[in-house]
Structure 1
Amino acid sequence: MKVKDLDTPSLIINRDIMMDNIQFMQSFADKHNVALRPHTKTHKMPALAKLQVEAGAKGITVAKVGEAEVMAENGLNDIFIANQVVGEIKLNRIKKLAETIDISFGVDNIEQIEVIEKVFSDSDKPAQVLIEIEVGENRSGVIEEHDYIELVKYILNCSHVNLKGIFSHDGNTYKAKDVEHCRELYNYAQTRTLHFARLAEDLGCKLETVSIGSTPPFMFGFDVMAGVTELRVGTYILMDVSQGNAIGTYDRCAATVLTTVISKPTSERVITDVGAKGLTMQSRSEGICATTGVGTLKHYDQVHISQMYDEHAIIYNEKFRNEVKIGDKVEVIPNHICPVCNLYDVAYLVSGDEVVETVPVLARGKLQ
């Protein structure tokens, strides 16, 4: 099948660019002698996760227990859930997964550990946990040293919980003012994470894993500090407008949404058949990853989607309007690829003008 023969909207992935992205990040990790554990919430496809592992990744990262279950069902056997898993329902599902695969997950408070200890009390294996360290994103994770020390001590006294390591996410690098500011934020995140690793060592706990990650610093090739053992990077495999803006090119953007021009009601307005239900309304308003509009047209200079409704993309550009005809199919590079993949049942891998493979998005909708 030719790409032009696909119905729309469709999620398409340039296989050649994607494979180059996979090798690029794996080579970066190998160069710095650290493990790569890609975050598969970006694509939610076991088939792509396997390509990352085959290229050398140690294992994979997911965001939710449901994603872990899908990945495990499809042959991925070393999984980290980079999130606080709370509640007996989810913990029992993890305990079941632990019978057949290596699985670990995030924690950041003693209340959470109390329930984990209870749930895993009848398990042959202790729960494998990593403490999240807050490093500037202002999201989840331990902030104060005394809280961290108390948490480490509490885990060390548990019979059914093992402290495997710590992890952090420097998501604030997306809002860096420029490349040097990005480096500054990233280095602070590394330094802070390593400081907390040393605090654990002072308590007699040598951590197996010290994990860091967000895409921008590694696309810039920033150094990895001694003591870091693992990189968790997600968006790099497909990239998007925000990441392309950070590095100054869309050449690494592998994923696009194919959409059809369905109306040209004015001299400058164009309507296509993908809206928020196929592209999301997400945008970034500041920093190196700032975006214009809610999607960028590939192969057209500075043409952006101005606004979206549920099923319609609205583009205001007279030159573009005069270049396209009703029925033409165009490609949109999403501002943020991660939520877009979650909107499709399948992705089409393409090479040139040919569709070479249809890949099911098996972890789509696995939010629990």
Structure 2
Amino acid sequence: MRYTQLDTPTLLIDREILVENLKYMQSYADINSVALRPHTKTHKMPFVANMQIETGASGITVAKVGEAEVMAANGIKDIFIANEIVGCSKLERIRKLAETVEISFGVDTPCQVEAVEEVFASAVNPAEILIEIEVGENRSGIIEEADFIVLLDTIKACPHVHFKGIFSHDGNSYSADNLEECRQISLAAQRRTLHFAQLARENGLSPAIVSIGSTPSQMNHFEILEGVTEIRPGTYALMDASQGNAFGTLNRCAATVLASVISRPTSERVILDVGAKGITMQERNEGICAVPGKGIIKEYPDVHIANVYDEHAIIYNKDFRDQIRVGDKVRIIPVHICPVCNLYDYAVLISGDEAVEEIPILCRGKLQ
């Protein structure tokens, strides 16, 4: 059927744009002789993850153990959890996964490593860990060199823990004022990551993997410095309004939310049948990722959602109101696609005007 015949709200993915996005990033990785390990927290779909592997990705990245379990059950054999893992129950689940797939995960504190050692003490193979380096996002990761060396010494003292490498995420690039500032943030993050890689070598642990990530820098094909072995962009597969602004066009946005006009209560107000529970309340107000409102109407790119309630999106635009009628359907380009995918049981793959296939979002809700 035509996608306009689908009930609303529905998450749509344009097949041709998706395929082009996957090829675009894989080409960037190949040209720079680095591995591509896409972050699948964006789409949460084994279907898309397998497309990424088929296009050339070396493996995938996830955020949670639950996502790793689902991806492994659906044929993915090389998985990195780009997050610190705390708690014996999660470590025991990783230990079980390690029996059938290659799996690694993040640490940034000695006590985490000591807990890993205890859980993996009787495992056939050692735990594979990467140390996170904080590079300006003000989130998790090692900040001080002294703490890094203490962490390395802890790893050396744990025979069932194998140091695989280091990783970082320059999420602060999202708020860069312009592309040149974004480029400088990317380069600074790479230099800092590579510095810690060298510190590890000087302290007797050589990283096989030096992994960096962030869609704005990698969609714009910034320079990748020698010594980096892997990139981990996520949003590039589907894109969204904020990343589209950072890239300079919304034409790369593969994901949209199909919604119906359900009311035109005033001469300028229009109400759609999807709200915070279908597109989130997220906004981006700073830098190259800034976008007006809470979503852009694809067919009317100058029209944005001004506000949302749980199940309603509010638009104030007289010209738009005069052009549409109750019952019409429009596509919303979300501000931030990652949490949007987590709100739906499935997405519909479309090609042109045709609805092609339902894709289950099997990792939705896997928060543990």
Please state whether the residue corresponding to 1:169 is helix, strand or coil: coil
Which letter maps to 1:183?
Answer: R
Please state whether the residue corresponding to 2:302 is helix, strand or coil: coil
Superposed displacement of residue 356, structure 1 = 1.0
Pairwise mapping of residues 212-227 of structure 1 onto structure 2 (< 5 A)? 212-227=212-227
For residues 180 and 276 of structure 2, the distance between their equivalents in structure 1, rounded to whole angstroms, comes to 34
Pairwise mapping of residues 191-210 of structure 1 onto structure 2 (< 5 A)? 191-210=191-210
Which letter maps to 1:184?
Answer: Q
Superposed displacement of residue 205, structure 1 = 1.4
Alignment partner, residue 40 of structure 1? 40
For residues 197 and 308 of structure 1, the distance between their equivalents in structure 2, rounded to whole angstroms, comes to 45
Alignment partner, residue 366 of structure 1? 366
For residues 249 and 183 of structure 1, the distance between their equivalents in structure 2, rounded to whole angstroms, comes to 18
Alignment partner, residue 96 of structure 1? 96
Superposed displacement of residue 291, structure 1 = 1.5
Pairwise mapping of residues 95-244 of structure 1 onto structure 2 (< 5 A)? 95-244=95-244
Superposed displacement of residue 301, structure 1 = 3.5
Alignment partner, residue 353 of structure 2? 353
- Deviation sequence 1:203-252 (CA, Å, 0-9, x none): 12111100001000111111100000000010000000001111221000
Alignment partner, residue 282 of structure 1? 282
Superposed displacement of residue 133, structure 1 = 0.0
For residues 255 and 303 of structure 1, the distance between their equivalents in structure 2, rounded to whole angstroms, comes to 17
Moved >6 Å (runs of 4+)? none
For residues 251 and 58 of structure 1, the distance between their equivalents in structure 2, rounded to whole angstroms, comes to 27
Contact 2:114 2:154 in 1 (8 A): no
Please state whether the residue corresponding to 1:41 is helix, strand or coil: coil
Please state whether the residue corresponding to 2:163 is helix, strand or coil: strand
For residues 335 and 301 of structure 1, the distance between their equivalents in structure 2, rounded to whole angstroms, comes to 13
Which letter maps to 1:262?
Answer: I
For residues 350 and 220 of structure 2, the distance between their equivalents in structure 1, rounded to whole angstroms, comes to 27
Please state whether the residue corresponding to 2:314 is helix, strand or coil: strand
Taking structure 2 as the reference length, the TM-score comes to: 0.99
Task: Supply the RMSD in Å over aligned alpha carbons.
Answer: 0.5
Unaligned runs of 5+ in 1: none
- Deviation sequence 1:44-85 (CA, Å, 0-9, x none): 000000000000000000000000000000000100000001
For residues 205 and 301 of structure 2, the distance between their equivalents in structure 1, rounded to whole angstroms, comes to 55
For residues 33 and 128 of structure 2, the distance between their equivalents in structure 1, rounded to whole angstroms, comes to 23
Count of equivalent residues: 368
Q: Percent identity?
A: 64
Which letter maps to 1:290?
Answer: A
Say if 2:2 is the partner of 1:2. Answer: yes
For residues 27 and 273 of structure 2, the distance between their equivalents in structure 1, rounded to whole angstroms, comes to 39
Pairwise mapping of residues 255-274 of structure 1 onto structure 2 (< 5 A)? 255-274=255-274
- Deviation sequence 1:165-221 (CA, Å, 0-9, x none): 000000000000101100111100000000000000001211110000100011111
Taking structure 1 as the reference length, the TM-score comes to: 0.99
Please state whether the residue corresponding to 2:303 is helix, strand or coil: coil
Unaligned runs of 5+ in 2: none
Which letter maps to 2:333?
Answer: I
Superposed displacement of residue 154, structure 1 = 1.1
Superposed displacement of residue 299, structure 1 = 1.5
Please state whether the residue corresponding to 1:218 is helix, strand or coil: helix
